Amino acid sequence: MKTETYQSPDQQGYYGDFGGAYIPEMLHRNVAELKAKYLEIMHENSFQEEFQQLLKDYVGRPTPLFFAERLSKEFGASIYLKREDLCHTGAHKINNTIGQILLAIRLGKKRIIAETGAGQHGVATATVCALKGMECIVYMGEKDIERQAPNVARMRMLGAKVIPAISGSKTLKDATNEAIRDWINNPNDTHYIIGSVVGPHPYPDMVARFQSVISKEIRWQLKDKTGFELPTHVVACVGGGSNAAGAFYHFLDELSVQLVAVEAAGHGVYSGMSAATTQLGKPGILHGSKSLLMQTEDGQVVEPHSISAGLDYPGVGPLHANLFTSGRGVFLSATDEEALQAALHVSKTEGIIPALETAHAFAVLGRMNLKPTDRVVLCLSGRGDKDLATYIKELKLVD
């Protein structure tokens, strides 16, 4: 650990050994402009006023911190759910897209591009573009377009153009490649809204800051409810890692708080069909930053597998890679089947149908050796409506 805080990267965008901006010269001006201006813009009063107002009136923040009584009884600890599933569009993703669209407007950009896997970030981007009257182009893997038809329809209804990524494996990483290429070819008028804490510096830091509202609210909400500002554990699922970054953010340097990141193990970590990046990855460079990366011995990026499209990414944000290698974070994983069963269980126990991504976080509660005095906050990052087709099929819900 070279930096003194787990929260912010150094000048060059490094969290310990991970991060940086490994970009071709064609992206240099745009990324340098963003790096030079993002903090200044985010700290402007007019920006903060508009951002906070939209988070309140449009997104529906603060989202509740809900004491899950039945789960608490079952796992023998106090379990609180941070209800990001109640955000407009159904997940935490919109915290970031609201922030970035306001930033893009202040940078004088006219055109927005984004990548999406399951379509949640695409929908959140299309939503804020509609809100602000901006042109919106979303790149989505050809395979994901087939798998996630309802979100494709949502994006189109919101006025976005959805362009299939037909290169490589035709999934999220290829959609990201195509979005980056679009940015290279349109260097002047376009802002790229990355959906997770990945990409070249300053994206990981910028997205983490926009998502940090999650842990900011958790602190005062928990204090209101329990008298304690700090939980003993914060649990969140990790693909690229944006909801985890947001839920961990204001606890990163509070060393008494155990940070539990849950990755998707797919069919099993060592099955060859997994997305457990920290377990399987080695240091590598993808999409402009150095992090842990699932790859072959020859350094070719491996296509991951998870039943949840939002966790189906071969890398992980550099902030998380640093939490993993420094030992600051605890990294667990849950298989497809464990996540499905956890989703069913939480639905029946608390009356909340979680997104498949979030279900991975629930799946590890029984493995955490919790004590009655523990105060566990789990980031309920998204709602399960989008996953209904998968639930119907896998849990055999329809006769």
Partner 1 sequence: MSRLKELFARKNKRVLNVYCTAGFPELNSTISVMQALEANGANIIELGMPYSDPLADGPVIQASGNIALANGMTIKVLFEQLHDLRKTVSVPVILMGYMNPVLQYGFENFCREAAAVGVDGLILPDLPEHEYETEFGAIIKKYGLDFIFLVTPETSDERLRKLDTLSTGFLYAVSSSATTGSDKDFNAVEKYLLRLQEMNLSNPVLVGFGIKDRETFESASKYSNGAIIGTAFIKALEQSKDLALSVKQFLGDIL
Known catalytic residues are 93, 115, 381
CB of 141 vs partner 1, minimal distance in Å: 13
CB of 101 vs partner 1, minimal distance in Å: 23
Instruction: By CB under 8 A, name the one of 4, 25, 369, 396 that touches partner 1.
Output: 25
Closest to partner 1 by CB, 60 or 168: 168
**Per-residue x/- track, 163-192, partner 1 (CB under 8 A):** ----xx----xx--x--xx--xx-x-----
CB of 6 vs partner 1, minimal distance in Å: 22
Cβ atoms within 10 Å of 302's Cβ, excluding its own: 18
Buried-state track 374-391, b at ≥16 Cβ within 10 A, e below 16: bbbbbbbbbbbebbeebb
Listed ranges 15-23, 74-82, 110-118, 143-151: which one lies at the site for partner 1 (CB under 8 A): 15-23
β-strands 282-286, 289-293 pairing: antiparallel
Instruction: By CB under 8 A, name the one of 3, 22, 225, 325 that touches partner 1.
Output: 22
Rounded distance, CA 208 to CA 247, Å?
9
Q: What is the 3-state secondary structure (H, E, C) of 370-395?
A: CCCCCEEEEECCEEHHHHHHHHHHHC
CB of 177 vs partner 1, minimal distance in Å: 6
Q: Is 351 helix (H, G, I), strand (E, B) or coil?
A: coil
Listed ranges 23-31, 132-140, 339-347, 354-362: which one lies at the site for partner 1 (CB under 8 A): 23-31
2 contributes a contact to partner 1 by CB under 8 A? no
Query: Token pair of 170, please?
Result: 């035709």
CB of 263 vs partner 1, minimal distance in Å: 21
Rounded distance, CA 74 to CA 93, Å?
30
Rounded distance, CA 251 to CA 247, Å?
8
293 contributes a contact to partner 1 by CB under 8 A? yes
35 contributes a contact to partner 1 by CB under 8 A? no
One-letter amino acid for residue 340 of the chain: L
- Chain residues 250-289 in contact with partner 1, contact rule CB under 8 A: 282-288
Closest to partner 1 by CB, 28 or 161: 28
Query: Token pair of 321, please?
Result: 């890679």
Number of residues near partner 1 (by CB under 8 A): 34
**Distance separating the N- and C-terminal Cα atoms of the chain:** 54
4 contributes a contact to partner 1 by CB under 8 A? no
Rounded distance, CA 142 to CA 59, Å?
30
239: Cα separation from own chain's centroid: 7
Footprint of partner 1 (CB under 8 A): 12, 20-26, 28-29, 167-168, 173-174, 177, 180-181, 184-185, 187, 282-288, 293, 295, 297-301
